[in-house]
Amino acid sequence: MQKIRNIAIIAHVDHGKTTLVDKLLHSSNLFREGEESGDLILDNNDLERERGITIVSKNVSIQYKDVKINIIDTPGHADFGGEVERVLKMADGVILLVDAFEGPMPQTRFVTQKALGLGLKPIVVVNKVDKENCRPDEVYESVWELFFNLDANDEQLEFPVLYGSSKQGWMSTDWKKPSDSFEPLLDAILEHIPPAPTNEGTLQMQITSLDYSSFVGRIAIGRVARGVIKENQPISLVKRDGKIIKSRVKELHTFVGLGKMKVAEVKAGDICAVVGIDGFDIGDTIADFENPEQLEVIHIDEPTMNMLFTINNSPFFGKEGKFVTSRHLHERLYKEMEKNLALKVVPTDSADAFLVYGRGILHLSVLIETMRREGYELQVGQPQVILKEIDGQKCEPVEILIVDVPADVSGKVIELVTQRKGELLIMESKGTLQHLEFEIPSRGIIGLRNNILTATAGEAVMAHRFKSYEPWKGTIPGRLSGVLVSMEKGQTTAYSIDKLQDRGRFFVDPGVDVYEGQIVGEHIRENDLVVNIVKGKQLTNMRASGSDDNTRIAPAIKFSLEESMEYIQGDEYIEVTPKNIRLRKIFLKEADRKVNAKKFQ
């Protein structure tokens, strides 16, 4: 019987999870001498590499002292909490990674709470002890305090702790005495993480994640909780609602190194991929053919935000994308819902528009960015928080916001947050930085990051996590200034941009195609202003001295997708195509905007 340990790696975003997995893979001699493996081996899609974050959890395994260690790398960002919650079901223990300077962050708290609640055994790794200003001993104390506050049991409170630097490739039980390898961590996994339980009896396996192959279709991934699963075995698929579908396993694969290996059977305790089952969803149970027994269904926290997704109906419709119709949009969103558990899609009165519910702006923007890279053209509306009625009272989601900022600009941050109905809870010094904690409605966080980064010259570090639904806090002021809207369709000219510069800042460069109703800049006043940005200079053969000055144009402001989502108001859309992100008014003609103005007040 093969000895198995199943372990998930959890941490706040940017504390070094994926780098740690890289080093574990290297230390188990998975790569040949001199083989080029690169870094961040598991962040293998373009979006993950560009943003430097993990979005989808991954499975790999290594061999160490005749024990197979299945490692699950999880995302660290709050918006992908749904991903973390379900994959923890496959683990028997967790490695909690904490930065030696920052200590436990809001996201650490969120995933640690889930792991402790499932009764998983933790190993704490204080990472990045090679950094300046690091404070490993204080961080250890604050992790213990966090566990205590999260009601960890006595066994969980006696967690082993290791110190090290994933980047430099060493771990040790004493941070003042660096070792030269990762063996202390691997030994701690074998010693402290319980072996995977080998439960005898009829087959039970919960599907906790899925993969897709263009050859065999959808592949179910999960841990065998009881019994044995074999190739060609007839099984019952128990759906979340208790309905049973009879099916058959075609192929079985276990995770070996970075890839998969085909096997004839998998025993309880190991993680495997099952090919050949149709119609399954995450959370379903693969059970015995004759006596199917269902495992407890995975519960995922509710979404807190929604956005309207609709087809692109601007004058530039269909010029840049491959998939532009409502049928394409419908199919793609429902396909996403199969694997993205925290996402919900609801049809609206219009056949062309869908309400998409998600965990936050990053969660939704990653979906939109993935779709535009696949060739979709669509428009999205302003993100809205989801309101609930609790005991006859209108309630909204409230979050804990943590900002670390240089002390001399902390006053600006407090002012910006309190304007948006935030309440200051904690203010303390942390090294050279001021550590601020607020309670703020989720609505207040939309659009706040840009303002804080501008006010602090980019030095603020922000993190937030969902706390609970609380009574409505009142209206929050929206965008302070109006926008400049194009009056005509055509190509922008340097001459007209130059002449209009005193009216505001522009989002477009000269020589760009625009259409009537497109937002081309930000007005200096509170109202919207319609401008003619395509007018050229009247050229005559008369010349006057001084009238032919060169135009001096300030560079255009370029918004990322998230910045655009935070910028727009209720009467505006973002037009997203594979090549461009444009802002526009929902009603392109000025007369229509005036008629419908009351709808958006």
Instruction: Tell me which residue has tokens 């998983």.
Output: 120
Give the separation between CA 230 and CA 207, rounded to whole angstroms. 16
Sequence-distant (6+) residues with CB within 8 A of 173 are 161, 162, 163, 184
**Does residue 129 have a known ligand-binding role?**
yes
Question: Which one-letter DSSP state was computed for residue 196?
Answer: P
**Does residue 360 have a known ligand-binding role?**
no
Decide: 500 and 531 in contact? Cβ < 8 Å.
yes
Please tell me whether residue 433 adopts helix, strand or coil conformation.
Answer: strand
**Which residues are 121's β-sheet partners?**
93
Please tell me whether residue 402 adopts helix, strand or coil conformation.
Answer: strand
**Does residue 128 have a known ligand-binding role?**
yes
What is the DSSP code string of 329-374? HHHHHHHHHHH-TT-EEEE-SSTTEEEEEESSHHHHHHHHHHHHHT
Question: Which one-letter DSSP state was computed for residue 323?
Answer: B
In the structure encoding, which two tokens stand for residue 557, read together?
A: 């402001």
Please tell me whether residue 231 adopts helix, strand or coil conformation.
Answer: coil
**Does residue 65 have a known ligand-binding role?**
no
**Does residue 14 have a known ligand-binding role?**
yes
What is the DSSP code string of 54-110? --S-EEEEEEETTEEEEEEE---SGGGHHHHHHHGGG-SEEEEEEETTT-S-HHHHH
Torsion of CA 568, 573, 576, 582, to 10 degrees: -70
**Does residue 16 have a known ligand-binding role?**
yes
**Does residue 243 have a known ligand-binding role?**
no
Question: Containing H/E element for 252?
Answer: strand 251-256
Give the separation between CA 87 and CA 71, rounded to whole angstroms. 11
In the structure encoding, which two tokens stand for residue 129, read together?
A: 């002890």
**Does residue 242 have a known ligand-binding role?**
no
> Nearest to residue 356, comparing CAs of 278, 370, 57?
370
Sequence-distant (6+) residues with CB within 8 A of 34 are none
Sequence-distant (6+) residues with CB within 8 A of 217 are 278
**Does residue 131 have a known ligand-binding role?**
no
Exposed, middle or buried by CB within 10 Å (0-12, 13-18, 19+), for 449?
Answer: middle
**Does residue 418 have a known ligand-binding role?**
no
The annotation places the binding site at 14-19, 127-130
Please enumerate, by residue number, every residue annotated as part of a binding site for GTP. 14-19, 127-130
